[in-house]
Amino acid sequence: MRDLRQTTVIGLGLLGGSITLAALRCFPKVKVVGYTHRGVTRRKAQQLAAAAEIVDDIRMSVSGADLVILATPIRTFEQTFGQIADALPKGCIVTDIGSTKVLPHRWAAKRLPKTVHYIGSHPIAGSEQRGIEFARDDLFDQATCILTTTKATNSDALQSLRGFWSKLGCSVKLMTPSEHDRVFAGISHLPHVVASALINANDSSTLKFAGKGFIDTSRIASGPTNIWADVLLTNADNTTKGIDKVIAELLKLKKAIRSEDERQVEKLLKSARDRRAELIDYKIKEKEIIL
Amino acid sequence: MRDLRQTTVIGLGLLGGSITLAALRCFPKVKVVGYTHRGVTRRKAQQLAAAAEIVDDIRMSVSGADLVILATPIRTFEQTFGQIADALPKGCIVTDIGSTKVLPHRWAAKRLPKTVHYIGSHPIAGSEQRGIEFARDDLFDQATCILTTTKATNSDALQSLRGFWSKLGCSVKLMTPSEHDRVFAGISHLPHVVASALINANDSSTLKFAGKGFIDTSRIASGPTNIWADVLLTNADNTTKGIDKVIAELLKLKKAIRSEDERQVEKLLKSARDRRAELIDYKIKEKEIIL
């Protein structure tokens, strides 16, 4: 990213802190500014030297920035866009790293001035941990980062943002916001819902016998509750449609089991098994999984 | 197991083959006999030296055995019990390693002579692999093995069978058959159903974007289809009740998302997250997970 002089990250949790640390490492000449409203997080960020400047004034944090990255919960974005709107330099690129993209695009169109360029980002990285103390400067290395664009997206801004994430180690892909939200409902938001439902469907006396299978299947349900509530609520249509599809599949299996229809039970399990095998083959071919 | 002279394993897949290999290692003085009806598997077993004798006559395989272990699909057990019934030596212990236990107990009561002792076994071990070529003599090391008993269970036979699995490296626990099937529906059979439904609910164009979260959540759906059809069909009541519970939990989440009830969404996700954290703590305390 040729002209990047200052990048500002709003929100210094695991992801925001990892962005500032990665930017410090990958862009040694760029000024990295971090903002968080929490005093305790600012002190931790300072101890970790997570940014060149760590500030408590959100409008001041974005003044002079060429790139502003929101790394707070999704449902704070609209308000944050409003707060920073008239402090943003002209030509500035604004992005966010929320896991849903339709609403952020809508809020950006509503709240941000026409003089700045909004593009959505969704770096597929993270962990069940939370907090800047778990931030890592290589968190985005080898991750996929989806950028969401519309017909109105400025191509120079897109080029610059793509360069930023690439430099951090990401493989960048483009999607429309609605395509993104539909796809991620299926492969990310729905698994979270299903894992949570699976745990809640078991009583504690049963759970204590759980083995590796259950523990793996339910792992993602250990993600931060508020972040995930945010994701589900900002992708409500796709998520609830997905829930309906899962329920339909569960009912097919239930019916086959109830009627002792061995062929149908095997067929449904085989379909899942074959499609997962296909998925793994694809991931190996694309070198997204190294065996 | 003081008096064990011959153990016979019926069925030489991943698990059956691992039992014969482990028995050869742990009981060097015991004669280990393997039976399978498949010629190709017998030849593989011979190449791997998976047993002292590998035979093609099921009745001959059990003559002289003190311990007979069925390691074939669950729904073959009733017929197998019938085939071996009058070839079993008096006082012989008969067990199986099926993942459901109510029906095997019922079939044993119906088909086996009163002169032998049936006890159910469920060693919690395996992999997504199948076939004797993946068998390992340490597969049961540090595994839990559930033995299922009834009021009629002979205590000497139980003592002996417990000794056998302990020697193979298992931590042995006792349950009734119905308790076993209820618990395993929740923590094993239901996760399989849910993982399969999750995969089948997504189309292939969506699946290819799946990341680590989805891949972990769906891992168990890659298990052998016929074995799992067997499990679900022989634990139909518990599994279908479990499906109803998962659907109820999914509908709670759907309703909360639809009505934008942030508190309820967070509450449901938090319940799952907290209960999984409790589970992990318990597993660490019990040293079933080493961090």
For A83-118, how does the pLDDT look when each residue is reduced to its tens digit (9 = 90+)?
Answer: 999 999 999 999 999 999 999 999 999 999 999 999
**Per-residue confidence (pLDDT) for residue B130, from 0 to 100:** 83
Closest approach of A275 to chain B, Cα-based (Å):
7
Instruction: Among A145, A160, A175, give the residue marking a domain's end.
Output: A175
Q: What value does the mean pLDDT take over residues A160-189?
A: 97
Strand order in the sheet with A144-148: A120-123, A144-148, A171-175
Q: What is the C-alpha separation between A289 and B8, in angstroms, rounded?
A: 41
Q: What value does the mean pLDDT take over residues A171-187?
A: 96
- Our CA angle for B98, B100, B102, nearest 5°, is 120
Q: Which chain B residues touch A260 with a CB distance below 8 Å?
A: 233, 236
Q: What is the C-alpha separation between B39 and B167, in angstroms, rounded?
A: 30
Q: Which chain A residues touch B266 with a CB distance below 8 Å?
A: 225-226, 229
**Same domain, yes or no, for B193 and B121?**
no
3-state secondary structure of A240: helix
Strand order in the sheet with B93-96: B53-55, B31-35, B6-10, B67-70, B93-96, B117-118
As separate numbers, helices (DSSP H) first and strands (DSSP E) second, chain B gives: 13, 9
Q: Please, what's the largest Cα pairwise distance for chain A?
A: 68
Residue A64 structure tokens: 């002079």
Closest approach of A246 to chain B, Cα-based (Å):
5
- In Å, how far are B14, B17, B34, B50 from B25, measured between CA atoms? 16, 12, 15, 10
How many whole angstroms from its chain centre is CA B63?
26
**Same domain, yes or no, for B152 and B28?**
yes
H-helix segments, A168-218: 177-184, 190-200, 204-207, 212-217
**Same domain, yes or no, for A83 and A168?**
yes
Residue that the structure tokens 């993104």 belong to: A180
Instruction: Note whether A48 contacts B: Cβ–Cβ < 8 A.
Output: no
**Same domain, yes or no, for A105 and A222?**
no
How many whole angstroms from its chain centre is CA A194?
18
| pLDDT tens digit sequence for A135-159 | 999 999 989 999 999 999 999 999 9
pTM of the model: 0.89
Task: With respect to residue B76, please indicate whether it lies within any of the assigned structural domains.
Answer: yes
Instruction: Among B175, B207, B240, give the residue marking a domain's end.
Output: B175
Q: What is the C-alpha separation between A20 and A34, in angstroms, rounded?
A: 7
Residue B75, sorted as left (phi over 0), alpha (psi -120 to 50) or beta, turns out to be alpha
Q: What is the C-alpha separation between B179 and B108, in angstroms, rounded?
A: 18
**Is the pLDDT confidence value at A212 over 90?**
no
Q: What value does the mean pLDDT take over residues A245-274?
A: 97
**Same domain, yes or no, for A91 and A143?**
yes
CATH number of the domain residue B96 falls in = 3.40.50.720
Task: With respect to residue A250, please indicate whether it lies within any of the assigned structural domains.
Answer: yes
Q: What percentage of chain A reaches a pLDDT higher than 90?
A: 88
Contact (Cβ atoms closer than 8 angstroms) between residue B186 and residue A99: no
**Per-residue confidence (pLDDT) for residue B291, from 0 to 100:** 55
Q: Which helix (H) or strand (E) holds A43?
A: helix A39-47
Residue B64 structure tokens: 């002289």
**Is the pLDDT confidence value at A127 over 80?**
no
Domain of B47, in residue numbers: 6-175
**Same domain, yes or no, for B11 and B106?**
yes
Tell me how crowded residue B163 is: count the other CB atoms within 10 A of its CB: 14
Q: Which residues contact A152 (CB under 8 A, 6 or more apart)?
A: none
Asked if A191's CB is within 8 angstroms of B217's CB, the reply is yes
Task: With respect to residue B156, please indicate whether it lies within any of the assigned structural domains.
Answer: yes
**Per-residue confidence (pLDDT) for residue B286, from 0 to 100:** 82
**Same domain, yes or no, for A169 and A226?**
no
Between B288 and A276, residue with greater pLDDT: A276
Residue that the structure tokens 């009733």 belong to: B78
Instruction: Note whether B140 contacts A: Cβ–Cβ < 8 A.
Output: no
Task: With respect to residue A191, please indicate whether it lies within any of the assigned structural domains.
Answer: yes
Where would I find the beta strands (DSSP E) of A84-235? 93-96, 117-118, 120-123, 144-148, 171-175
**Same domain, yes or no, for A34 and A141?**
yes
Q: Which helix (H) or strand (E) holds A161?
A: helix A155-167
Q: What is the C-alpha separation between B34 and B12, in angstroms, rounded?
A: 7
Amino acid letter for position A254: K
**Per-residue confidence (pLDDT) for residue B223, from 0 to 100:** 87
Asked if A200's CB is within 8 angstroms of B249's CB, the reply is yes
**Per-residue confidence (pLDDT) for residue A223, from 0 to 100:** 87
**Same domain, yes or no, for A143 and A42?**
yes
**Same domain, yes or no, for B219 and B121?**
no
Mean per-residue pLDDT over chain A, rounded: 94
Task: With respect to residue A101, please indicate whether it lies within any of the assigned structural domains.
Answer: yes
Q: Which helix (H) or strand (E) holds B115?
A: none
Residue A27 structure tokens: 């862009």
Dihedral angle of Cα A247, A211, A207, A189, to the nearest 10 degrees: -40
Q: Dihedrals φ, ψ of B10, to 5°?
A: -100, 115
Asked if A209's CB is within 8 angstroms of B269's CB, the reply is no
Instruction: Note whether B49 contacts A: Cβ–Cβ < 8 A.
Output: no
Q: With a CB-CB cutoff of 8 Å, which residues 118-137 of chain B face chain A?
A: 124
Asked if B223's CB is within 8 angstroms of A239's CB, the reply is no
Instruction: Note whether A262 contacts B: Cβ–Cβ < 8 A.
Output: yes
- Mean pLDDT for each consecutive 10-residue tract of chain B (291 residues)? 86 96 97 97 96 97 97 96 98 97 98 98 83 95 94 96 97 97 96 97 91 90 91 97 98 98 97 95 80 55
Burial of A186 from C-beta contacts in 10 A (0-12 / 13-18 / 19+): buried
Q: What percentage of chain A reaches a pLDDT higher than 70?
A: 98
Q: What is the C-alpha separation between A53 and B125, in angstroms, rounded?
A: 53
3-state secondary structure labels for all residues of B195-213: HHHHHHCCCHHHHCCCCHH
Contact (Cβ atoms closer than 8 angstroms) between residue A1 and residue A163: yes
- In Å, how far are A18, A70, A126 from A122, measured between CA atoms? 14, 11, 11
Task: With respect to residue B151, please indicate whether it lies within any of the assigned structural domains.
Answer: yes
Radius of gyration in angstroms for the set of CA atoms belonging to chain A, rounded to a whole number: 21
Residue that the structure tokens 């770096």 belong to: A123
Residue that the structure tokens 């929101």 belong to: A70
Q: Which chain A residues touch B239 with a CB distance below 8 Å?
A: 257
Count residue pairs from A and B with Cβ separation < 8 A: 270
**Same domain, yes or no, for A87 and A67?**
yes
CATH number of the domain residue B209 falls in = 1.10.3660.10
**Per-residue confidence (pLDDT) for residue A189, from 0 to 100:** 96
Q: What is the C-alpha separation between B224 and B15, in angstroms, rounded?
A: 12
**Same domain, yes or no, for A199 and A231?**
yes
Task: With respect to residue B290, please indicate whether it lies within any of the assigned structural domains.
Answer: no
Task: With respect to residue A1, please indicate whether it lies within any of the assigned structural domains.
Answer: no
Contact (Cβ atoms closer than 8 angstroms) between residue B234 and residue B100: yes
Instruction: Note whether B201 contacts A: Cβ–Cβ < 8 A.
Output: yes
Number of domains in chain A: 2
Instruction: Among B139, B160, B175, give the residue marking a domain's end.
Output: B175
Of B202, B244, B251, the CB nearest to A186: B202
